[in-house]
Amino acid sequence: MMLPPIPGPLRAPLDKAIEVNKAVLDLIRQSPPWKSIFRNPYPNTDENRALVMFNSFFLHIMPVKVKRNTLKWNYTFGMGLLTFYLFVLLTITGVFLMFLYVPAAGQAYTDMQRLGTNVAYGQLLRNSHRWAAHLMVLFVFFHMCRVFYTGGYKPPRDFNWVVGVILFVLTLLLSFTGYILTWDQLAASAITVGANIGAASPMYIGGLMKAFILGADDPGPPTLIRVYAFHVILLPFAVFTMVGVHFWRIRKDGGLSAPATGRKARQVIVPSTRGGFSVKDVPAVSPEAPLPAPPEEVRR
């Protein structure tokens, strides 16, 4: 690392400090506990950059290398990533809210008020959960639009788009159920409109839908508790699972979509006529055209 020039009298003590710092860090990095957690050295060589990705539980969901295109800010606008982060933040703030909120018709509303008056940072907690929920809906919609306009839904990502549409619906439902939990007049308007839409299903189904949503003939205490169960367990679990499938599929579908690079020759290892293997250039092909399968894993 480049350090700015240091004025004379400070130089010696600073150098000493840096030296001690390095020694301490080395000591830590050489210690058995550290090495038991991080099995490879700091990732500053290509090999270690690869190792760090697949040796870490948290990082191994990401590939060792990504296309340049994936990192272009104006390709994804980070919308999917932001949606995911908002879901994480909502889960964390949501669990804290569960400590402070009882989903009973007589208490829910006062619990909301108490968050603003009796709980340290309670209002901030509630605000961030609320605004994050709105942002998540907004971003999931923008994410869908970006995927659409970049053609990210085309094969082999066709099924992942369907997973996405399901996630879109789940996100709306998650946000809607949370909106009811404040048990104020906004919630009353929302559940009334919601139940009306549910009841609009043709024939017999409408009545069933309404009963399913409200748990009674009119919105009331049974409604609150079932909406709560959906909001804190069923829907988050469904989103969590589907996001898992979504990310898994991104990996299996060859990472994010990108413009075809088919015009460029690509190298593959092919068996040579004299035995052994040689690296050959494959002429320009469309990315759809099958290439001869390399006989062993190709390492880049």
Partner 1 sequence: MAKEETVVQDINPKDPNKTYGLMELMKGRAPLVDKGGPEESLFSWPHLMLWITVVFLGLLVVLVGISWIFDAPLREPFDVDVPENPAKAPWYFLNLQELLLHMDKSLAGVLVPTVVLGALMALPYIDRNTRDTGIWYGTKKGLQITLFTTVYTLGWITVGVLFDETNIYGGFLRLLPGLQHITVPTGVHLVAGDLALYKVSLATVVAGWLLPVVIMVGLTGLLVAIVEVRWRPNIRERAIALFTGFAVAYLYLIVISMFFRGLGMHLTWPWDLPPNAIPF
Residues numbered 70-89 forming contacts with ligand HEM, rule: CB under 6 A: 76, 78-81, 83-84, 87
Contacts of 135 (CB under 8 A, 6+ apart): 82, 86
State which residue has the least CB distance to ligand HEM.
Answer: 164
Asked if 85 touches partner 1 (CB under 8 A), the answer is yes
Angle value at C-alpha 90, between 62 and 214, nearest 5 degrees: 125
Q: Alpha-carbon torsion 100, 106, 112, 115, what sign? A: negative
Residue from 206, 215, 222, 236 touching partner 1 (CB under 8 A): that is 206
The span from the CA of 268 to the CA of 67, in Å, is 18
- Alpha carbon 51 to its chain centroid, in Å, reads 23
**Considering CB distances under 5 to 8 angstroms, the limit depending on partner class, which of ligand HEM, partner 1, none binds residue 215?**
none
Q: Which helix (H) or strand (E) holds 91?
A: helix 79-100
Q: Which of residues 221-250 bind partner 1 (CB under 8 A)?
A: none
Residue 68 binding partner 1, by CB under 8 A: yes
Q: Which of residues 130-169 bind ligand HEM (CB under 6 A)?
A: 140, 143-144, 147, 150, 152-153, 157, 160-161, 164-165, 167-168
Integer-rounded Cα Rg, in Å, for the chain is 27
Angle at 256 between CA 70 and CA 135, to 5 degrees: 80
Minimum CB separation of residue 151 from ligand HEM in Å reads 8
- The residue from 38, 89, 92, 107 that contacts partner 1 (CB under 8 A) is 89
- What is the sign of the dihedral through the CA atoms of 10, 16, 17 and 19? positive
- 8-state DSSP, 72: -
Q: State in angstroms the smallest separation of the CB of 9 from partner 1.
A: 36
Site for ligand HEM in 252-271 (CB under 6 A): 256-257
Query: CB-wise, 7 or 63, nearer to partner 1?
Result: 63
**Window contacting partner 1 (CB under 8 A); options: 1-9, 11-19, 66-74, 96-104:** 66-74
162-166 long-range CB contacts below 8 Å, 24 or more apart?
163/242, 163/245, 163/246, 163/249, 164/246, 166/242
The one of ligand HEM, partner 1, none whose footprint includes residue 218, by CB under 5 to 8 A per kind, is partner 1
Site of interaction with ligand HEM (CB under 6 A): 76, 78-81, 83-84, 87, 140, 143-144, 147, 150, 152-153, 157, 160-161, 164-165, 167-168, 171, 239, 243, 246, 250, 256-257
